[in-house]
Amino acid sequence: MNVLIDVATDLRDYLPELLGGLRLSVILTLSSLVLGLPIALALAFGVTAAHDVLRWACVAVVEFGRGAPVLVVLQLAYFGLPDAGVTLSAQVAATAALTLMSAAYLAEYLRGGIAAVPPGEVEGCLALGMSRRDTLRYVTVPQGVRIALPSMMGFSVMLFQATSLAYSVAVPELMSRAYSIGSSNFRYLSMFIAAGLLYAVIAIPCTWASVYLEKLLNRHA
Amino acid sequence: MIRTILAGLPLTLLITATAMALGTLLAVPLTLGLRAGAPPVRWVCRVVVDLFRGVPQLVWLFIIYYGVSAGDARPTALGAGVAALGLVASGYLAEIFRGALKGVAAGQWEAAAALGFSPATTWARILTPQAARVALPAYTNYAIALLKDSAIVSTIGVAEMVFRTGQVARTSDMGVFVYVFTAVIYIALSAPLGMLSRRSDIKLREAVAR
């Protein structure tokens, strides 16, 4: 049980520093989501576009963002791009990599959600003489987003956990700070447990919330 | 250059397969615990599953690799990697199995009981085969995710594909190409798995009572 005492003292001594890291982890998550969402919506329509080149380009982006390990995309942005003449700061590189990943995953959820809107809805709009634009704006997209919402929340939790990988490109988020404190006081075990608890405090309730939301939305299904 | 990266492929596959096997093995008692009649057992298993899923894999990896020791003995990097990925996998797989068992129609339990099947036979011959079919797509999806997640063991120096990619990228000036090449290998590996799972899912679903 010594470990638990260590964790408690470490949390007491280093909490402000760890919370600073946690704040950066949350900022990374939110900014990638906010930047990724509009791109995702564009990609969701792009992958079903009639124009061949456009469609293939969008499919390529989605498949790359979903199929490549996050760590590879992160290191590509930070260690790889300088070889192509683009040097980004660690935080910008991490945000760019996580944005690409969010856009790709969210595009798939949105596409699935929009496809799940009953065809009768669109036919109804046609019958009412609504324009294609209005149909999308007022009928298809709002309902599609609602259907996709639980999976998008689930993804957000995954993304939050994935920000820990930004440690490998030297972004001073929670994991980096836990590591650097651990290497100065040699209490790696308790530092990483403390960091894990801080991740869990956010991730677990958010997972519950997404499960609850799914139940709520499926009430009438 | 390409050969150096591909030399890490067997290790990537080995880690994925071992962690998946470990996760499946650990998920079985967890699944049973999540369905247990005694509330304390259920609660403990719920907390364990939530912690496995709620703490990032990298944190588990570092807890095990840097934190765990018995006397002078410390885990090897490979062992720590498999253990961390396996633990997290067991949490996710337990949830998948639990959901799949719920997906087996209640009439199947009742019919088995009515026909006087013993609990062991009911599980072995009726529930598991049907639940396995329901669980298959999610199970394969997790395997694909694990293949990609196995890349994190490169952070503790296991010389799998991503670790080697980093080494190659540092010594060449073609960083973009090198990383994209590795990404494409991962994508190429997961595509057939996904296709296989979709195809077998359609076939197997026909054999599940509703």
DSSP state of B8: T
In this complex, is the C-beta atom of A45 within 8 Å of any C-beta atom belonging to chain B?
A: no
Encoding tokens for residue B169?
């990228």
pLDDT mean over A54-77: 94
Among B92, B195, B188, B106, smallest CA distance to B135 is for B92
B210: pLDDT strictly greater than 60? no
Query: A112 with A148: CB under 8 angstroms?
Result: yes
Q: Does domain A2-219 have CATH number 3.30.70.250?
A: no
Residues A157-168 pLDDT 10s: 999 999 999 999
The pLDDT > 90 percentage for chain A reads 75
pLDDT band at B149 (very low <50, low <70, confident <90, very high): very high
Encoding tokens for residue B3?
């050969």
pLDDT mean over A13-35: 95
Which chain A residues in 53-112 lie under 8 Å from chain B, judged by CB atoms? 63-64, 67-73, 75-76, 79-84
> SS3 of A168, please?
helix
Residue of B nearest to A159 (CA): B56
Domain residue ranges of chain A, discontinuous segments joined by +: 2-219
How far is residue B76's CA from residue A40's CA, in Å, rounded to a whole number? 41
Residues B6-46 pLDDT 10s: 999 999 999 999 999 999 999 999 999 999 889 999 999 99
Q: Which residues of B touch A204 (CB under 8 A)?
A: 50-51, 53-54
Q: Which residues of A touch B174 (CB under 8 A)?
A: 83
Residue of B nearest to A163 (CA): B56
Residues B94-138 pLDDT 10s: 999 999 998 888 888 889 999 999 989 999 998 998 898 889 889
pLDDT band at B209 (very low <50, low <70, confident <90, very high): low
pLDDT band at A175 (very low <50, low <70, confident <90, very high): very high
Q: What number is the ipTM of this complex?
A: 0.90
pLDDT mean over A171-183: 93
Give residues with Cβ within 8 angstroms of A141, minimum separation 6.
Answer: A41, A114
Are B59 and A175 an interchain contact pair (Cβ–Cβ within 8 Å)? Answer: yes
Are A72 and B162 an interchain contact pair (Cβ–Cβ within 8 Å)? Answer: yes
Are B182 and A84 an interchain contact pair (Cβ–Cβ within 8 Å)? Answer: no
The reported pLDDT for the residue numbered B68 is 85
Among B168, B148, B59, smallest CA distance to A174 is for B59
The pLDDT > 70 percentage for chain A reads 99
Exposure letters B171-186 (e unless 16+ CB within 10 A, then b): eeeebbbbbbbbbebb
Q: Which residues of A touch B48 (CB under 8 A)?
A: none
In this complex, is the C-beta atom of A203 within 8 Å of any C-beta atom belonging to chain B?
A: yes
Residues B53-92 pLDDT 10s: 999 999 999 999 998 877 778 899 999 999 999 999 999 9
Out of B53, B66, B179, name the one closest to residue A192 (CB): B66
Query: DSSP string spanning B57-102?
Result: HHHHHHIIIII--BTTB---HHHHHHHHHHHHHHHHHHHHHHHHHH
How far is residue A137's CA from residue A145's CA, in Å, rounded to a whole number? 11
Among A76, A156, A65, smallest CA distance to A103 is for A65
The reported pLDDT for the residue numbered A92 is 96
Encoding tokens for residue A142?
């709002």
Among A163, A171, A190, A159, smallest CA distance to A4 is for A190
Are A165 and B152 an interchain contact pair (Cβ–Cβ within 8 Å)? Answer: yes
CA torsion A119→A124→A129→A132, rounded to 10°?
A: -30
Work out the number of other CB atoms within 10 angstroms of the CB of residue B107: 11
Which is more confidently placed, B172 or A75? A75
Distance from CA of B70 to the nearest CA of A (A): 13
Out of B63, B162, B190, name the one closest to residue A193 (CB): B63
Query: B60 with B84: CB under 8 angstroms?
Result: yes
Distance from CA of B121 to the nearest CA of A (A): 33
How far is residue B184's CA from residue A32's CA, in Å, rounded to a whole number? 23
Give residues with Cβ within 8 angstroms of A108, minimum separation 6.
Answer: A44, A62, A66
Give residues with Cβ within 8 angstroms of B159, minimum separation 6.
Answer: B8, B11
The reported pLDDT for the residue numbered B156 is 94
In this complex, is the C-beta atom of A167 within 8 Å of any C-beta atom belonging to chain B?
A: yes
The reported pLDDT for the residue numbered B193 is 78
Alpha helices per DSSP H over A68-173? 70-75, 90-115, 119-127, 132-134, 141-162
Are A192 and B56 an interchain contact pair (Cβ–Cβ within 8 Å)? Answer: no
A63: pLDDT strictly greater than 60? yes
Residue of A nearest to B64 (CA): A189
Hey, what amino acid is at B113? A
